[in-house]
Structure 1
């Protein structure tokens, strides 16, 4: 989580009720402008997030919820404005920095063990607060289409990507060696 996030919403997680708490974030105009600037968007028309924050295991915190946003991006081909909708489900687990659950598992040779199909490693937090605004912004960024394209537009082939025709043969990197002769 970034210290410079556009959304700041610290939540105390020291004494969470067993059923958890609900946190709703609705970005104001200043925050939406900062989100657009920080994530290379034309405009963030709306941004809302709702999270359920509840205890997890002994000292951990589970965050579940949803982010909904309306944004305008530039098409990567025409640079025209392109409306997009983000509707992203969020699930994350946080543990204190010193928790055993935050340690990276290693096998006997010292290699990191990662199960691609298994759950993600818990993220860590320090103190008694988690910035839920930064969590929301992180998942918002991951949901943005990195290559927005207007429907029906295909990307033109540039000269460096053009296909070689039958009459054109590529120059071999060894072509200059063909004329090279050994000197006695």
Structure 2
């Protein structure tokens, strides 16, 4: 697993050296300090709740599979009005990990092998070193991917924002003239 420069506010290191046969259940419930750190780190007005329920289990010979869900209630600023916009995140978490020097992880890379990538298929396994994986940071990655990059308050539009309307219509005229449409 690639380590970030800074540690995740919801970091939870799972020891994967000797996982129980039925796997290891992990629950990460962020306290007020962690929620404030998540909000600051991801440009949110606030994070009202954050909970990740994960299951860490052995996969293939030396691999690890992490699955579960991350749920959160967040408040973002509307991109048009900057008013608060509430959102609920309920995102599945699914990831595979292989030890750094795993033969399974190198298959296809050595000997000029061909690698087939499927955009809709499962992600390739990540690698990790040592005996731990930060499953809290992994859940945070899925949380971030679920955040709406363009939150909009119901009824808010660029036209309703006022002065931007003129700029947009000038842009549309220019675009039409470039496309040769009148």
TM-score tier, shorter chain, comes to 0.7 to 0.9
Q: Flag as ranges the 4+ runs of structure 1 deviating above 4 A.
A: 106-112
Q: Summarize the Cα distance change of 1:107–1:158 in structure 2 as closer, same or farther, 3 Å threshold.
A: farther
TM-score when normalising by structure 1:
0.82
Secondary structure, in 3 states, of the residue corresponding to 2:139? helix
Deviation at 1:2, TM superposition (A): 2.5
Q: How many angstroms does 1:132 deviate by?
A: 1.0
1:154 aligns with 2:163: no
- What CA deviation, in whole Å up to 9, does each residue of 1:48-107 have, x standing for no partner? 010011100000000110111000000000000111100011111111111123237369
Structure 1 spans left out of the alignment, 5+ residues:
171-184
Aligned to 2:173: 164
Residue 121 of structure 1, CA deviation: 0.3
The answer to whether residue 122 in structure 2 is matched with residue 119 in structure 1 is yes
Tell whether the 8 Å contact from 1:53 to 1:63 is kept in structure 2 after alignment: yes
Q: Quickly say closer, same or farther: Cα 1:72–1:117, change in 2 above 3 A.
A: closer
Report what 1:30 is aligned to: 33
- 1:131 and 2:134 aligned: yes
Consecutive unaligned residues of structure 2, counting only runs of 5 or more, are 160-164
Q: Which residue is 1:77 aligned to?
A: 80
If each structure's helix is expressed as a fraction of its own residues, which one has the higher value? 2
1:108 is displaced (CA, Å) by 8.8
Question: Which of these residues, 55, 58, 70, is aligned with residue 55 of structure 1?
Answer: 58
Of the two, which has the highest radius of gyration?
A: 1
Number of equivalenced pairs: 169
User: Which residue is equivalent to 2:98?
Assistant: 95
**Equivalent residue runs for 1:39-54 within 5 Å:** 39-54=42-57
1:145 aligns with 2:145: no
- The change in CA–CA distance for 1:43 and 1:55 in structure 2 (over 3 A counts) is same
Give me the CA root mean square deviation.
2.5
Take 1:107 and 1:116, find their aligned partners in 2: how far apart are those partners? 23
